[in-house]
Amino acid sequence: MKQRVLGTGGLAVSEIGFGTMSFASSYGEAPGDDEAMAVIRGAFDLGVTHFDTAEAYGPWTNEVLVGKALAPMRDKVTIATKFGWNIDPVTGERGPGLNSQPDHIVRVVDGMLQRLGTDRIDLLYQHRVDPGVPIEEVAGAVKGLVEAGKVRHFGLSEAGAATIRRAHATFPVAAIQSEYSLWTRDPEPDVLPLCAELGIGFVPWSPLGAGFLTGKIDTATQFEPGDFRAFSPRFSDEARAANVALVDLLKDIAASKGATPAQIALAWLLARRPFIVPIFGTRKLSRVEENLGAAAVVLSAEDMATIETACARIEIHGARLPEAVLQFSYL
């Protein structure tokens, strides 16, 4: 698989990465560790070298899983993880809201290194911007961790343009991670142009719309207990019935390219900007193989224009996340 570079510091990663949140409980009951590790290692065998986790996934259990799965190939991959929620660094108990106090960041990173079984974190994101802590203090704390050799690169997740600019002025930001796909285009007006201006990479999470853009979900789909989609406004019965128009578009484009809807959705992201590295998540190795096939799908300028024209006629129904989570985005 080809590589792309995130930021100006030379962080080279596979052009498509693998997000491991699906092995936590966000999509219902998580699979066993052996099954999950087989998929993660299978992704590596298929060319993925960039893997994404977070302390909040579990909390903690996902970092342990990723560390175990990637231990045999640690020096051949890059690992990203995230801090920022109010998780006790000793007990792992999750409190209300956020916590990006500098001393807290330093403490949680030591725990991350232990759980991941590594001596450095390749890309450390602030998971959500903490309005109670100036971003300059957050960037300064990560700078200290970079100087100590515990972290290689600094990232922000779901941050607004003004915050990104301020953080970057304090310490170079390598990557921004935010939700971005054909049905969630919030980063386009401000964040993506700023990334281009400052030389910052962009890592779309949920590039397949939490599975909806694959065409495998319809109004008859029943979600498992604990699956966040059961409570997401965009996955209500009414929203799914309306949003299928976008899936129909993807199916039409896919048929003309000998591809699948998922591959078209990912290929569209790859074609948008050369600094975009989407990370998808799945529990099935067959889906990993399918999704990575997107790298071989070529969308011409005419194809991209056709998609844009068609999308302009499609109204996406439902907020992308529940309000309790959305309140922490684009601060």
What is the arithmetic mean of pLDDT over 3-29? 94
Asked if residues 104 and 112 have their Cβ atoms less than 8 Å apart, the reply is no
72 lies in some domain: yes
- The average confidence (pLDDT) of the chain is 97
pLDDT of 238 strictly over 90: yes
3-state SS record for the chain: CCEEEECCCCEEEECCEEECHHHCCEEECCCCHHHHHHHHHHHHHCCCCEEECCCCCCCCHHHHHHHHHHHHHHHHCEEEEEECEEECCCCCCEEEEECCCHHHHHHHHHHHHHHHCCCCECEEEECCCCCCCCHHHHHHHHHHHHHCCCECCEEEECCCHHHHHHHHHHCCEEEEEEECECCECCCCCCHHHHHHHHCCEEEEECCCHHHHHHCCCCCCCCCCCCEHHHHCHHHCHHHHHHHHHHHHHHHHHHHHHCCCHHHHHHHHHHHHCCCECCEECCCCHHHHHHHHHHHHCCCCHHHHHHHHHHHCCCCCCCCCCCHHHHCCCCC
CB-based contact 291:216 (threshold 8 Å): no
Instruction: Encode pLDDT of 261-306 as tens digits.
Output: 999 999 999 999 999 999 999 999 999 999 999 999 999 999 999 9
Whether 234 is covered by a domain: the verdict is: no
Please report which confidence band the pLDDT of residue 328 belongs to, taking 50, 70 and 90 as the band edges: very high
Q: Is the pLDDT of residue 30 over 90?
A: no
Return the pLDDT at 27. Answer: 83
Residue 304 lies in a domain: no
In a domain, 255, yes or no: no
Q: What dihedral angle (degrees, nearest 10) is formed by the CA atoms of 222, 224, 230, 235?
A: -50
Question: Does 307 fall in a domain?
Answer: no
Count of beta carbons in the 10 Å neighbourhood of residue 48: 23
What pTM was estimated for this model as a whole?
0.98
* Residue 38, Cβ density class (10 Å: 0-12 exposed, 13-18 middle, ≥19 buried): middle
pLDDT of residue 26: 78
251 within some domain: no
Pairing of strands 173-179, 201-205: parallel
**Tens of pLDDT, residues 81-135:** 999 999 999 999 999 999 999 999 999 999 999 999 999 999 999 999 999 999 9
**For residue 246, what pLDDT band results from cuts at 50, 70 and 90?**
very high
**Domain contains 239:** no
- pLDDT tens-digit series, residues 38-72: 999 999 999 999 999 999 999 999 999 999 999 99
- Whether a cis peptide bond, with omega within 30° of 0, leads into 59 is yes
Q: Which two tokens stand for residue 219?
A: 């109004």
> Residue 25: pLDDT above 90?
no
- Give residue 226's pLDDT: 87
- The parent domain of residue 101 ranges over 3-214+261-298
228-265 burial, b for 16+ CB within 10 Å, e for fewer? bbeebebbbeebbebbbebbebbeebbeeeebbbbbbb
- Give the whole-angstrom CA distance, residue 267 versus residue 307: 12
Per-residue confidence (pLDDT) for residue 261, from 0 to 100:
98
What is the number of structural domains in the chain? 1
What's the pLDDT at 120? 98
Position 29 confidence tier, pLDDT thresholds 50, 70, 90: confident
Residues 158 and 179: beta-carbon distance below 8 Å: yes
Contact 325, 126 (CB under 8 A): no
Residues identified as active-site: 57
pLDDT score, position 165? 98
Q: Helix axis angle, 161-170 relative to 135-147, nearest 10°?
A: 40
Q: Are the C-beta atoms of residues 226 and 28 closer than 8 Å to each other?
A: yes
Distances (CA, A) of 43 to 20, 24, 30, 63, 277: 11, 17, 18, 17, 15
CATH value at residue 197: 3.20.20.100
Please report whether residue 90 resides in a domain: yes
pLDDT of residue 28: 81
